[in-house]
Amino acid sequence: MSNLFFLVMLFSVPAAPEARPTVALINLDHPGAGEFARVQTMLALQPAIRLLPDTEFTPEQQASLRSTLQAVAAYPDALVRAVLEKHRVHMKIDRWVILTTRGLYVQGPQEAFFGPFAVPGPRGRLSEAFLLLLQKPQPPVRRPGSTVQVPFYRNWLFWTGVGVIVGGLTAMSLLAQEPTDVEVHVFRR
């Protein structure tokens, strides 16, 4: 009876929806506002990804990030990618979609970036390769507890503590010693 109940419960519970990757779109140096709106609309219509809403990444934040990145270097410079990776981790998004004058780029975890892809025209579409990169699942993340523990004696802090304690004990023992009596014999001639 309990097996029958288990089977009924197993098949009647709906499966959990698969997590969709979160994508944020930023316009770094593309002059056309129409292209940005077009790409934003095309990304919002993709069922396999979740575009970060404007309420979470305000235009002021985008303008601030854009001006900072333009002051550093042009995309895809390594420093610009590192700054975007830091913001990606902080904002808990899976992928960046970067719109530049050279085209669209996809930047994901661990400094992985791809592009440039063509910016679609008024009747165009996003390329299949571009969409596949956005939908690709993230690589597995190491758990903090699964790292190899370094032995305590390989830590510089341990040896600094040992040195301070031994030095302090040595100094205290030297200062606590009473001077030994020394007999001095002076002979006159």
Which residue type occupies 9? Answer: M
Spatial separation of the C-alpha atoms in residues 87 and 27, rounded to whole Å: 15
Residue 160 has pLDDT above 90, yes or no: yes
pLDDT band at 158 (very low <50, low <70, confident <90, very high): very high
Domain range annotation of the chain = 22-135, 149-173
pLDDT for the residue 147:
63
What value does the mean pLDDT of the chain take?
80
Please report, rounded to a whole number, the percentage of residues in the chain having pLDDT higher than 90: 8
Q: What is the pTM of this model?
A: 0.61
Contacts of 103 (CB under 8 A, 6+ apart): 115, 116, 117, 118, 119
Whether the upstream peptide bond of residue 76 has omega within 30° of 0, thus cis, is yes
Q: How many CA atoms lie within 13 A of 76 on its CB side?
A: 17
Spatial contact of 106 and 129, defined as CB atoms under 8 Å apart: no
Which residue type occupies 151? Answer: P
Q: Tokens for 177, please give them.
A: 């010693």
pLDDT tens for 61-117 read 777 887 888 887 888 888 888 888 888 888 888 888 888 888 899 988 876 788 888
Which of the residue ranges 83-87, 118-122, 143-147 would you say has the lowest mean pLDDT?
Answer: 143-147
pLDDT for the residue 140:
46
